[in-house]
A = this chain, B = another copy of it.
Amino acid sequence: MATKPHRITRPGQITHPVSATRYVRRGGEICRPGAAGRPWRVLQGSIRLDHVIDDEHALAGLAVAGDIIGLETLLDNRYRYQASALVSCQLEPWYPDTVEEPAQASLQWLIASQARTVDMLALRIGRAHERICRLFAMLGHMPVELPRLRDIAEITGLVKETVSRTMTELHAQGLLRQDVRPRQSRVRRCSSHDAIMYA
């Protein structure tokens, strides 16, 4: 707080809504189902959405730069999915464009959502290295920061060991930049305080 003024870790404590850009580090939780909140636009990074039911979680979607998450909050102010950062993310609050006709806009979101579904499904067929490369393509080619192997595994429907071996292979083939390795960075113990807000 002292070194980073205006930092807020709890929703509802927004101090200076001048620029409410929100930074979430790799592995951090962005929102949880049932919690109150608003939609966000992803400025940077990539996000996984999970459907959580009885502490079982199932992959529900991916969001990359430009996408809007939490649209369902427009309905009743509640998140339906858990969102967590695959890599470090930058978000900004998003408000519906009142200029555009609401129904039209909603249809656009629907179409975008369905298009994303096609890509997601494709991440679960084919060989391991195909799946992983396809994922990287979705997240933006040549990522500087790599998602956790566990995340990659859960998204592609592989196990983490397979992902690890495949990544090693990809490195050997020069398909990944030398410096891009997943080994670094342990995800901070997730205590719902991973979000860092700048005012």
Contact = CB atoms under 8 A, between A and B. Distances in A.
A115 B51 CA distance: 8
Interface string A121-135: 110110000000000
A102 to B, nearest CB: 3
Interface stretch (A1-9, A14-22, A106-114): A106-114
Interface residues of A, number: 33
B60 A118 contact: yes
Contact of A110 (B59, B110, B121): B110
Interface in A69-84: 71-72, 74-75, 80-81
A93 interface: no
Given A71-B107, A106-B110, A111-B75, A157 B118 contact: no
A107 B72 contact: yes
A103 interface: yes
Nearest to A126: B157
Contacts of A146: none
A105 B107 contact: no
A185 interface: no
Contacts of A74: 103, 107
Contacts of A125: 124, 157
A111 to B, nearest CB: 5
A60 B80 CA distance: 22
Contacts of A122: 58
Contact of A59 (B59, B107, B118): B118
A68 B36 CA distance: 29
7 contacts: A51-B118, A58-B118, A60-B114, A60-B117, A109-B110, A110-B113, A120-B121
Interface of A: 51, 58-61, 71-72, 74-75, 80-81, 101-111, 113-115, 117-118, 120-122, 124-125, 157
